[in-house]
Amino acid sequence: MKRGRKIPGNAAIWTGGLIVIGFIAVGIFAPYIAPWDPLKVNLDMKLTGPSANYPFGTDQLGRDILSRLMYGTRTSLFYSVAVLGAMLAVSVPVGLVAGYVGGKVDHLIMRFIDILLAFPSLILSLAITGMLGPGLLNLLLAFASVWWTSYARIIRGMVLQIKEKDYITAARAGGATHLQIVLRHVLPHAVSPIIVLASVEIGTIILSVSGLSFLGLGAQPPTPEWGVMLSDSRSYMQTDPQLMLFPGLTVMIVVLGFNLVGEGLRKMLRGTG
């Protein structure tokens, strides 16, 4: 039965991995493979349909949509990964301390997290971004300061299970310090679930970053970013649907790729657990 579960997981990882690697490669090599300057305005060619020179057509300012999507890959993925990294940088230590130390420390940390979780995370992110002002850096700070709470709670739960294992008891009996136990035994056993969690959540982060850019709180025009492109195309949905179609499909495909990787890793971890 285990082999039957692993095959779909591996297939999902391979499919999603190819999609993700493809987008990462496009983002890295965008300056070399993009056919046009993504910021170049050419009003004589505005709102043209797909053609040999412009495979995805041009926008309302005559900018090449394909080139803007390629450059937008670097912006969207970079800031989404940065948000994830900042969230993990806060949630992992907090979750480790709460789960391992326990007692009053755990109680205080979890009550503080409960207070933050009482507010809808997206609304709180919107409020923080509104106070800090629009921009990708402020968007990063807003997401990182709000979304770490759910990760910390999950990591704390994993640590509570891990610290009851026999090898932790043996390490304590062997005279290992608390720091040694956490770094050598607790954290390594929590890494795999954290990677699975991160690979699943990165898709949600990409959607959220693009969504707030769409609302004007993230990247600002003329930055080539998927949410900005979707926002710019709202006025042309009926007459020139390709302006919204291609950025929308791009977001959908990359999120699908990360979700497939996360789901595949989750199945593999479950099969080996």
Q: Which domains does the chain have, with CATH numbers?
A: 31-38+50-258 (1.10.3720.10)
* Torsion angles phi and psi, residue 164, rounded to 5: -95, 0
Q: How far is it, in rounded angstroms, from Cα 251 to Cα 229?
A: 11
CB atoms within 10 A of CB 40: 12
Nearest CA-CA partner of 24 in 77, 81, 82, 65: 77
Helix 136-162 vs helix 121-132: crossing angle, to nearest 10: 140
Q: Are 206 and 254 in contact (CB under 8 A)?
A: yes
The CA-CA-CA angle for residues 44, 47, 53, to 5°, reads 75
Q: How far is it, in rounded angstroms, from Cα 25 to Cα 168?
A: 42
State the pTM of this model. Answer: 0.85
Name the residue type at position 188.
P
* pLDDT at position 272: 57
Nearest CA-CA partner of 254 in 218, 211, 214, 207: 207
* pLDDT at position 85: 92
* pLDDT at position 124: 86
Q: How far is it, in rounded angstroms, from Cα 182 to Cα 244?
A: 48
Nearest CA-CA partner of 55 in 45, 47, 66: 66
* Torsion angles phi and psi, residue 61, rounded to 5: -110, 10
Residues 59, 63, 66, 71: is their CA dihedral positive or negative?
negative
Q: How far is it, in rounded angstroms, from Cα 65 to Cα 194?
A: 36
* pLDDT at position 74: 92
Q: How far is it, in rounded angstroms, from Cα 152 to Cα 148?
A: 6
* pLDDT at position 93: 94
pLDDT tens, N- to C-terminus, the chain (273 residues): 444 444 455 888 899 999 999 999 999 999 999 999 999 999 999 999 999 999 999 999 999 999 999 999 999 999 999 999 999 999 999 999 999 998 999 999 999 999 988 888 888 888 888 888 888 888 888 888 888 998 899 999 999 999 888 888 888 888 888 888 888 889 888 888 888 888 888 999 999 899 989 988 888 899 999 999 999 999 898 899 989 999 999 999 999 999 999 888 888 877 655
Q: How far is it, in rounded angstroms, from Cα 7 to Cα 269?
A: 13
Q: Are 134 and 220 in contact (CB under 8 A)?
A: yes
Helix 103-117 vs helix 136-162: crossing angle, to nearest 10: 140
Q: Are 138 and 149 in contact (CB under 8 A)?
A: no
With a CB cutoff of 8 Å and minimum separation 6, the contacts of 17 are 257, 260, 261
* pLDDT at position 219: 87
Q: Are 208 and 219 in contact (CB under 8 A)?
A: no
Q: How far is it, in rounded angstroms, from Cα 20 to Cα 263?
A: 14
* Torsion angles phi and psi, residue 58, rounded to 5: -125, 160
* pLDDT at position 1: 42
